[in-house]
Each structure stands twice: as structure tokens, then as C-alpha cells.
Amino acid sequence: MSKPGPVESLTEEEARRELARLSAEIRLADAAYYREDDPHLSDAEYDALRDRNSAIEARFPHLKRKDSPSERVGHEVSEAFSKVAHGVPMLSLDNAFADEDVAEFVARIRRFLGLDDSESLTITSEPKIDGLSLNLTYEAGVLVRAATRGNGQVGEDVTVNARTIEDIPEKLGGKTWPDKIEVRGEVYMTGAAFKALNASQEEAGKKVFANPRNAAAGSLRQLDVAITRSRPLRFFAYAWGEVSEPFAATQTEAVETIEKWGFVTNDLFKPHETVDGLLEAYRDLAERRAMLGYDIDGVVYKVDRLDWQERLGFVSRFPRWAIAHKFPAERAVTKLESIEIQVGRTGTLTPVARLTPVTVGGVVVSNATLHNEDEIARLDVRPGDMVEIQRAGDVIPQVLGVVDPDDNRAPPFEMPGECPECGSAAVREVDDKGEEDVRRRCTGGLTCPAQAVERLKHFVSRKALDIDGLGAKQIELFYGHGVVKGPQDIFRLADRIEAAGLPPLSEWEGFGETSARNLFAAIDARRSPPFQRFLNGLGIRHVGETTSGLFARSYLKWENFWDTVKKASQGEEGAEADLLSIDGVGQTAVTSLKDFAAEPHNQDMLTALLDEVDVEDAEAAASDSPVAGKTIVFTGTLEKMTRDEAKSRATALGAKVSGSVSKKTDIVVAGPGAGSKLKKAEELGVQVMSEDDWLELAGL
Ligand code: IVH
């Protein structure tokens, strides 16, 4: 199909085709919105289609179709409910978007009524409720029929369903009312009720609703009235249709009267004398919108005097005496240009949608978050798709889903297995319960530019290398100048500065002779970092201060430890079991260590770093204890303390507690019920002792 251009440049033939297309498209959109309660267009897009249709009709009036959307309100009625004709048609409201449109609306009314500037014109404002309109017919003060708007002339009979709504009186209260009256208003659902409904729908594996409006519509149009009754629907009365006799002189008076009859009316209804007053009400409601507890999509302005409403009358589908001042659309459809991966400062890979810029809620949006790969799979969004996006307040825009995916889409998106910043492997962690983290993380740590600054700050921090005078500020400074990119560069700082062609540190702003000298001295003082601090400083996930301490006290020598880690990362089960046998060390930490060690960037960094520093051996915590440095295995039932306590006491004395017996085992402490481990110890000739003997030996 040819690409439709701006209305001004359409040829007659193009205009004819365009009107046919728009008629069909609006009909489809109406059906989805009104009949299926499942809109596929945003309000803004829908309005744009109708506006374009009207603009083409204005330019080519003779091409206006018999089935023109500008003559249609809403949809054809659904077959499931019987049809009822409204006493007076239910019309729609024209839209205003800009302040100028409101000024023009008021000016038009003044012109139409021939009011001069000195004559006051009261116009009311009230929220435009985002629900579905309902027409309630009362005869002799009794509810006889409830009907949806339908196509404006004929609606659906939902009387039994409407009777379940508490806000709708069965009988009119107050003293007098017209013998026959159609009271009109909006059925809606509060935000809280909508959330609760969706939660229970989801739990029951049933369809969840896209928004409160759809939930309200779906709940009202139920063939099973028990379902409608179970749904907390509300109703605001704001208008009327057919009346057997006049019952008020102004909109204000009418609304007050309707309220006296027992309806709920909106308490944000207000009269105004000026355009500025209307605009102030609009801004006020826009601000309070999020706190109202129910959805509104604009403000409705109405001429207060009913005799003037009568004189103003209607143009096609809209009254001249009212207009809807819409809030800017907060959803829009645009093209997903690409999916890019951002790496956060702690290594999390976040997919970001790059969009063809589009205005959402008055703001141009060109990026939206896709959260993680599971979310992308759930939405099945692919580059090139048209996507619906949503912007709520200051929140980062979100992608809601794909609109009309076509057949030649890109293949499903796959999250990269490597970090786009540094090329290191990016992995999803599996926790001790076997559950996969939704986030994918870069294993590059210190070698990844996206993470480097944070990691370097950690490396020099108090619980790691603890370098005096080298804190977050200095790291940022050195990193910014490109002289410290990895931890090894800290120990070559003077050379790196010189190689970069920068003046010596003593000449830098904020440094003098003394502070530069002190900094170099502080760095040199850390050339033999203790095992625990060094390991902690590497910033490997799940290997923090405590776990680093466990490894240090267990392996004592860095080389022994790192050898084991490397072997484990190459798949040696014995090595992995060795790491895991340490009390307090879990699979998560070991997997994370293996991932780190398997990454070539990390290997290179570590080699360079170890060229600069000698990791100091850890000391067995209590080297004078006879069990220090010994590998102990507990088996059978312990009677004096729990297994956990026994392990932690032994570790505190510098022993290494293992879960399995091997040649390396020094002592097996066997309680009642000891089985295979005891047997193995005997076979290997490992020393076996009772719990009491152990307590005595350990001095406990
Ligand atoms: S007055 C002749 N007041 O908006 C016009 N309508 O886009 C009578 N709506 O069909 C309608 N809140 O469903 C009016 N405070 C309000 C409204 C309101 C919501 C809906 C109504 C109407 C649609 C027009």
C-alpha cells in the first residue's frame, strides 16, 4: 500500500483511498475497544486517525463516505445482550489538547451565543473518568433499564448487571424527580480494586486486564451476573438524557439534584468564569491525577446554563457546549530500532530499547528499559517491531508489548554471552537452591571498563588493600586521566603518569611534594597484602571479607588456593570439592570464583598484579593450638555440641574442616553411628578419635 502523505498534498485519488482505509481501521479499533474490551491502539493514536479522517473530509467534502467514522459513535452492538434504543442519543465529546484549544472553545461559545465581553459565561470543570458510560432509565423513580452506549443510538441492555452496583440506586431518593429520566454517568473500577482483581485472576490462571477501564467493561458486560456482582464496580453520575420535565436550570444545580436522588457525583466539579480558571482546574487535576485512586484521562468543561446548552446544540457527534481537555497520552507506539546492552557499575547487563523518538506524556522518549532477558522473552520484542511504550511520571519508560507483529520479523533476541564493554563472559548466577538469577552479569570485574572505577575503589578500600590517601576521589582522578585502569597500575603509578606524558604527581592540583611522596609510600607499604584482604579486594561476587577469610585460613598460601581455584575452573572435581569442603563456603561462592578464574582478562590482570605484589601467607588463626593447620572430618553423632558449632570452633583454632576423608585428612572425629567415613579413615590409616578425645586435644 502506498505510504499516505500529509493531508495537504494528497491527490483526490489518494484521499479517496485514505478515507476508505481510515474508515476500516477506525471500525476495527472501535470493535476492539468497545466489544472486546481490549484496545489495540492508544487513545492518542485513535484520536490521530479520527483527526486525519476529519481533515481529509474537510479538504474533500464530496469524498465523505456514507459510513464515515465522523458520523459514527462507538461500535455496532454485541449480539450477546439485547439491544435498547436510548431515549436521547449518547454522544461523544470533542477533544482539546492545547490551552489554545480551550480558549477557542470558549470564544466559539461566546460568538455562537452573541455574548459580549462584559457578559459572564460560567463553565464547569470536572474529571473525565476513564471508564465506560452507562445510561440508566428511571420511571416513576424506579430503575427500569441500564444500557451501555453502544453505537450512541442503540446500546446493550445490562440492567441485571447494573443492579449489582451499589452506587446505582434502585429507587430515586429525595422528594421530586421527573416521571421519566435517563441518568448518565461512568462505570469505573478503582486502581486498588483493579490490582486486587488482576492478582486473583492471575492466581486462578485467568485473563488479566490491561487497565481499570477494560476491567470495568469486562466486568459489567458479563452474561453471568454473579461475576459482575463479585467485581467492585463504581459509578459516577454526571449527565442525563431524556427527561419528561426539566429539573434544573444549570449544570451545577442538575448535578446537586442528581446527588440528592442518591447518586455519587464527583466532588471535584467546579464552576469557572474565565479561561484561566479552566486551565488552572486542568493543571490542578493533572497534578492530583495519580492520587485520585481512579483513572481519569482529562477534564470535561461544560457550559453551566442549561438554556444555553440547549441553544448551542450539537455538531455531528459532539455537543457544542462541552469539550474534553485531554491529558497528554502517556502511552505511544513507536519502532524498536535496536536492543542495546548497558553494563552497570556492578556488572549487571541491562537490555535497553533504542526507539524511534516519540512523544509520550509531553516528553520525547527514545530509550526504554527492557529489564532483563526473561522480560524480553515474555514480551517477545525484536528489533524492527512496533512496540507500545508507557511512561509514568519520572519512571524510566517501559516497553509494554509488540503491536501487530508482521511475518518478516527479526529472529528472537538473544542476550549476548559476553560483556559488550570488555568481552568477558557474562553469566546468570544459579543460587544454592538451583534458581537462576534473572540478571546476567559480566565476570570481568576489575578488567571491565564499565565496572573498573567501582571495583578499583573497592580494591583500595579499608577492608581490602587499605591504601592511605588513595580513596574514591583519587581513583576517579587517576582513572579519568587513564593512568590507573586496573589494580596493577596503582603499583606503577609514577611510571604510568610519566608514560602518559603528564607532569609528576607532586605538580598536580591538590597534591604537593609531601602528599605525593606520602601516597607513593602508602602504596609501597601495601606490596605484601594479606591473603584475606587481597582476595576480598578482587571484588569477586560472593567472595567478600568473610569468605575470603575462610579461604585464607584454610589454604594459608595464596598459590595453593589459586591453584585449586584454577583446577576447579578447569573442571577438576577434586579441586572443587576441596573448596567446597570448607565450612561456611557454599556453591555460589565457588561457582563465582570459577567463573572469575576462567576469564582470560582476569587471568592477565592477576598475573600483572602479582608481578607487583607478593600476597602474604595467612596465619592459622591460633598457631599454638595442636589442631592448627590440621584437616579434620567430623562423622557420626556429636553429643556435646552441634556439628555446626564443632566445625566453627575447629576453624577458629586454625583447623581445616572437610566433609570427606582422604589421604590429606589428619583426624577423623567419630561419634555414634559413624559409617563409611570411619571405615575409609581406618582403611587409609587416618587417626580416629572420639568426641571427648577431640575436645581434650583442642582444649575445649
Ligand atoms: S459528559 C454529551 N462528563 O467521555 C456529552 N462525559 O469522550 C456527555 N466521560 O461518552 C458526556 N467522564 O463516557 C461527560 N465527567 C464526564 C465524563 C464523561 C467521562 C466520558 C463519557 C463520554 C466520553 C466522551
Q: Could you tell me if 214 and 233 are in contact, meaning their C-beta atoms sit under 8 angstroms apart? A: no
Q: Are residues 355 and 256 in the same domain?
A: no
Q: Are residues 104 and 148 in the same domain?
A: yes
Work out the pLDDT band at 393, boundaries 50, 70, 90. very low
Residue bearing cell 538451583: 434
Work out the pLDDT band at 163, boundaries 50, 70, 90. very high
Q: Are residues 148 and 285 in the same domain?
A: yes
**pLDDT, tens digit, for every residue of 413-448?**
999 999 999 999 999 988 778 888 889 999 988 889
In whole numbers, what is the pLDDT of the chain averaged over residues?
Answer: 90
Domain containing 636 — which CATH number?
Answer: 3.40.50.10190
Work out the pLDDT band at 1, boundaries 50, 70, 90. very low
| Section 382-391 average pLDDT | 92
Atom of ligand 1 nearest to the CA of 126: 15
Other beta carbons within 10 angstroms of residue 175's beta carbon come to: 7
Question: Does residue 594 sit within a domain?
Answer: no
**pLDDT, tens digit, for every residue of 464-505?**
999 999 999 999 999 999 999 999 999 999 999 999 999 999
Q: Are residues 67 and 127 in the same domain?
A: no
How many CA atoms, within 13 angstroms, populate the side-chain half-sphere of residue 525?
A: 13
Q: Are residues 397 and 492 in the same domain?
A: no
Q: Are residues 227 and 337 in the same domain?
A: no
Q: Are residues 162 and 294 in the same domain?
A: yes
Q: What percent of the chain has pLDDT over 90?
A: 65
Question: Does residue 263 sit within a domain?
Answer: yes
| Section 173-181 average pLDDT | 94
Question: Does residue 616 sit within a domain?
Answer: no
**Which of 483, 505, 524 represents a domain boundary (last residue)?**
524
Atom of ligand 1 nearest to the CA of 90: 2
Work out the pLDDT band at 207, boundaries 50, 70, 90. confident
Q: Name the least confident of 203-207, 585-589, 612-616.
A: 203-207
Catalytic residue selected from 83, 128, 302, 566: 128
**pLDDT, tens digit, for every residue of 508-567?**
998 999 999 999 999 999 999 999 999 999 999 999 998 999 999 889 999 999 999 999
Task: Specify the pLDDT at position 38.
Answer: 65
Rounded to the nearest angstrom, the distance between the alpha carbon of 675 and the centre of ligand 1 is: 80
Q: Are residues 356 and 467 in the same domain?
A: no
Work out the pLDDT band at 20, boundaries 50, 70, 90. confident
Best residue among 300, 316, 318, 320 to mutate for probing ligand 1's pocket (most ligand atoms within 8 Å of CB) is 300
**Which residues approach ligand 1 with their CB closer than 6 A?**
91-93, 126, 128-129, 133, 186, 238-239, 300, 319, 322, 324
Rounded to the nearest angstrom, the distance between the alpha carbon of 509 and the centre of ligand 1 is: 66
Question: Does residue 538 sit within a domain?
Answer: no
DSSP 87: S
Among protein residues, the one whose CA lies closest to atom 9 of ligand 1 = 128
Q: Alpha-carbon dihedral of residues 336, 340, 343, 344, nearest 10 degrees?
A: -10
Q: Are residues 253 and 365 in the same domain?
A: no
Nearest C-alpha neighbor of 342 from the set 224, 441, 437: 441
Rounded to the nearest angstrom, the distance between the alpha carbon of 73 and the centre of ligand 1 is: 13
**Which of 272, 291, 326 represents a domain boundary (last residue)?**
326
Atom of ligand 1 nearest to the CA of 132: 13
Atom of ligand 1 nearest to the CA of 130: 19
Q: Are residues 516 and 639 in the same domain?
A: no
Task: Specify the pLDDT at position 537.
Answer: 96
Question: Does residue 445 sit within a domain?
Answer: no
Higher pLDDT, 21 or 107: 107
Best residue among 186, 270, 323 to mutate for probing ligand 1's pocket (most ligand atoms within 8 Å of CB) is 186
Determine the Cα–Cα distance for residues 496 and 483; give it in Å rounded to an integer.
5
Task: Specify the pLDDT at position 34.
Answer: 64
128 annotated active-site: yes
Q: Alpha-carbon dihedral of residues 623, 628, 629, 633, nearest 10 degrees?
A: -170
Query: pTM for this structure?
Result: 0.48
Q: Is the pLDDT of residue 695 over 70?
A: yes
Determine the Cα–Cα distance for residues 167 and 177; give it in Å rounded to an integer.
18
Task: Specify the pLDDT at position 394.
Answer: 43
Atom of ligand 1 nearest to the CA of 127: 15
Among protein residues, the one whose CA lies closest to atom 17 of ligand 1 = 128
For residue 27, the enclosing domain spans 7-72
Among protein residues, the one whose CA lies closest to atom 1 of ligand 1 = 239
Higher pLDDT, 9 or 5: 9
Name the helix (H) or strand (E) containing 261: none
Q: Are residues 367 and 287 in the same domain?
A: no
| Section 331-336 average pLDDT | 92
Q: Tally the domains of the chain.
A: 5
Domain containing 362 — which CATH number?
Answer: 2.40.50.140
Rounded to the nearest angstrom, the distance between the alpha carbon of 94 and the centre of ligand 1 is: 10
CB-based contacts of 408, cutoff 8 Å, min separation 6: none
Work out the pLDDT band at 2, boundaries 50, 70, 90. very low
**pLDDT, tens digit, for every residue of 576-588?**
999 998 888 989 9
Indicate the residue type of 22. L
Q: Is the pLDDT of residue 143 over 90?
A: yes
Rounded to the nearest angstrom, the distance between the alpha carbon of 201 and the centre of ligand 1 is: 29
Pairing of strands 132-139, 142-148: antiparallel
Q: Name the least confident of 62-71, 150-159, 546-555, 574-583.
A: 62-71
Atom of ligand 1 nearest to the CA of 324: 7
Rounded to the nearest angstrom, the distance between the alpha carbon of 303 and the centre of ligand 1 is: 14
Q: What percent of the chain has pLDDT over 70?
A: 94
Rounded to the nearest angstrom, the distance between the alpha carbon of 299 and the centre of ligand 1 is: 10
Which three three-digit cell numbers place residue 558?
A: 595464596
Q: Is the pLDDT of residue 607 over 70?
A: yes
Q: Is the pLDDT of residue 409 over 70?
A: yes
Among protein residues, the one whose CA lies closest to atom 12 of ligand 1 = 128
Instruction: Report the Cα 233 to chain-centroid distance in Å.
Output: 27
**Which of 524, 546, 572 represents a domain boundary (last residue)?**
524
CA distances, 209 to each of 213, 215, 224, 249 (Å): 9, 5, 18, 41
CA distances, 96 to each of 279, 283, 320, 359, 443 (Å): 11, 14, 13, 17, 53
Question: Does residue 569 sit within a domain?
Answer: no
**pLDDT, tens digit, for every residue of 637-653?**
888 887 777 877 787 77
CB-based contacts of 270, cutoff 8 Å, min separation 6: 124, 125, 126, 281
Determine the Cα–Cα distance for residues 213 and 401; give it in Å rounded to an integer.
19
